[in-house]
Amino acid sequence: MARLAPTIELEIEQRRELEARLRARRTEQRAVERARIVLGAADGLSNQEIAERLSIDPDTVGKWRGRFAREGLAGLEDRPRSGRRPVYGHDDRLKVIKTVTEEPPDPASHWSGRQIAEALADEVGISRSQIWRILDDLDLKPHRVRSWLTSQDPEF
């Protein structure tokens, strides 16, 4: 016995939002696909018909159709995934920031990834690539700093 797909009836605002996602240039493709699934379902298409039109698996259509039926537009958003736990925590990030905001060792005029990794190797043991990821996340560019102004104030 086949399962019946939930009937989708869209309110005017929901349809506008889904159609806007289709037209927007910067919408992620997975969000566009989910909007097309829901709009197809609202137009009375079966999961199989939607799947054929979009060249996707019917189970995918059923998943997003069901989530929309239960949760509305919020159901089309990605859910948090477990994933791998971060190896380096907040304190490690602060140590990187503290290091790159200090004056580089003589005779260097600016920090390099290797110098930061060497400076933190004993204390934290962060790889050069991870240091650059941390710096990139924070939009810090120690290799572009032209001069340093270090405060002598211990309260600073």
pLDDT for 147: 58
Tell whether omega for the bond before 104 is within 30 degrees of 0, i.e. cis: no
CA distance 115 to 110: 9
pLDDT at 87 over 60: yes
The band of 18, judged by pLDDT with boundaries at 50, 70 and 90, is very high
Whether the model clears a pTM of 0.85, i.e. scores above it, the answer is: no
104 band by pLDDT with thresholds 50, 70 and 90: confident
Position 1 pLDDT exceeds 50: no
**Average of pLDDT values for 54-81?**
93
Query: What does each C-alpha distance from 137 to 7, 60, 65, 87, 141 come to in angstroms?
Result: 43, 33, 35, 15, 11
Q: Report the distance separating Cα 51 and Cα 58, nearest Å.
A: 5
Tell me the C-alpha distance between 57 and 52, whole Å. 8
Distance between CA atoms of residues 76 and 66, nearest Å: 10
The alpha carbon of residue 4 and the mean position of all alpha carbons in its chain are separated, in whole angstroms, by: 34
Query: Domain spans of the chain?
Result: 12-76, 90-144
Provide the pLDDT for residue 143: 67
Residue 150 has pLDDT above 80, yes or no: no
For position 21, what pLDDT does the model report? 94
Average pLDDT over all residues of the chain: 84
